[in-house]
Amino acid sequence: MSAVLELTDETFQKEVVDAGVPVLVDFWAPWCGPCRAVSPTIESLAADYQGRVKIAKINVDEQQAIAGALRIQSIPTVALFDGNKVIDAKIGAMPRHEYTAMLDRALAKRAN
């Protein structure tokens, strides 16, 4: 079982905005090659950061309301939320260290 949470338009508020912890959200689609390339990295981040942050994915083809509201124009977009605010984001497939840097900065800010 994956530690990555599958989001829907209906669960976004509860699982991301009201989470109480930073949430890394991968906006993706099944036909997107770079999205599929990022997927194993997202899975490994979920395992490595379990209990400290939430890691989630949202299929922009199936869940268009949130992607539209957030003006997601390119995928993959990996956005880090703290409450209802995007505090960091990367567009396109990035190496793992780009995502860990986002998460580590957010956790360091929360610790202070």
Known catalytic residue: 18?
A: no
Pick the catalytic residue from 35, 55, 56, 78: 35
Pick the catalytic residue from 32, 45, 55, 72: 32
Known catalytic residue: 37?
A: no
3-state secondary structure the chain: CCCCEECCCCCHHHHHHCCCCCEEEEEECCCCHHHHHHHHHHHHHHHHCCCCCEEEEEECCCCHHHHHHCCCCCCCEEEEEECCEEEEEEECCCCHHHHHHHHHHHHHHHHC
Give the catalytic positions in this structure: 32, 35
